[in-house]
Amino acid sequence: MAPTGLDPLCWLCLLPYAPSTASLANLRAAYEPGLRQVLKKASQFSSRSQSTTLDIALVYEEHSSSGGSDVGLDYTHLQKLLGLMYRLICIICTTESIDMEYENDVDARVMFFNAKEDSRNTTQEHGKSSQPRSPLIPFEALALCPKPWKLICFLENQNGQILRKDFLQARDKSPHAATEHFDIEGVAGGVSTRTSSQKSLSEASSLQDDCKRHSSVAVGGTFDHLHAGHKLLLTMTALLVNLDEKSASSGRSLTVGITGDELLKKKQYADQLQNWYERQAAVQGFLLGILQMSLPTDTLKSSQRMSNPDTGARAVRQEFESGLVINYVELFDPFGPTITDESISALVISGETRSGGQAVNDKREAQGWSLLAVLEVDVLNAEIRDDSAPNRIDENYEGKISSTEIRRRLHNRAAVEH
């Protein structure tokens, strides 16, 4: 996707293969020294009005869940790994006092990409390929992405240096290479617990076979003051959308239901609630940031603000040259488009709203429609302890994953300032 209102200060941190076993301890050993260094530096360039955007791209090897020609999605393992990465980032930011409260917050965004050897079928011409398209970011697409990264960081270990060499060689082929300027910085490499790109047998065999991609996927939420839990939910939703060119003829869509303002008036610290268009813009900015790396040559064809004449519900519809459509729809009830749009085939929810997924399918079944594939993401709770500073994590961690806590802090700050 061509640049669309990108943040003026945007950095990239590339991480080699994740540990064979996904655990917080293993991720800390592999990535914490480098991530801590990058996050601390990025926070120094943030301000109250503008946070530094830090794209964190992690190499991941996928496996077909169906065993056939289709490239499926290791959904269960991916969402666990993504959740652990955001937990690690939140722990680092908490211990380093990186937060909007100190006007040095960092907008960290984690995504996965294929290793170079796994994406050789991807061509540079409009992202076309004769092979089924991976749900992850192809290596070449990431390297050729037009995002104006000001700093690109790599780990200073063997795997990090190999990744640096391959990435910069591919980046040199970008049509923007002659005019762009970015700095390169090595950061502390952690202890690698993985020497190959293969998952452990137990991990690979545990992958669920419910991970096929869908042409029409939905997700819903309040999305107030976008935080790590929202990013996890939105990223896994985007990964479920089938971006294969062969699926374009039947239409590809991502529907985001965003709770209407009227339903939020009784929320705690409602004076700090973002209005619907502010929340929609935050979700849009995050999704486009991810999709731009996956579809670097795609461009926005049209963007329309609409309003339902019967209900007054607001909506934004964005259509891209590739045929992908993203619909942002105002919600007045727990169901939204999932019971009015029969073409939606999958719904992504957080573990705490599991009953909502069942309620949607009960409604669809009553209408004689196919049931949705309902996929969950883990809840990022505030009970995570960091052995080096357990009390501080328990006290402040919630401010990274709770919209209510974010509003409380903003409310208190506003009270002091006035």
pLDDT of amino acid 104: 86
Q: Which residues pair with 259 in a beta bridge?
A: 331
Tell which residue, 403, 22, 388, has the closest CA to residue 203. 22
pLDDT of amino acid 48: 81
Rg (CA), the chain: 21
Q: pLDDT tens for residues 294-344?
A: 887 788 999 999 998 878 899 999 999 989 999 999 999 999 999 999 999
What are the backbone angles phi and psi of residue 183, rounded to the nearest 5°?
-90, 155
pLDDT of amino acid 47: 85
Q: Which residues of the chain have pLDDT under 50?
A: 2-7, 64-71, 117-132, 195-210, 384, 386-393, 395
User: Which helix or strand (DSSP H or E) is residue 362 part of?
Assistant: helix 354-366
Query: Cβ–Cβ contacts within 10 Å for residue 50, how many?
Result: 13
Q: How far is the CA of 354 from the CAs of 282, 296, 350, 359, in angstroms? A: 25, 34, 7, 9
pLDDT of amino acid 86: 95
pLDDT of amino acid 329: 97
pLDDT of amino acid 208: 40
pLDDT of amino acid 331: 95
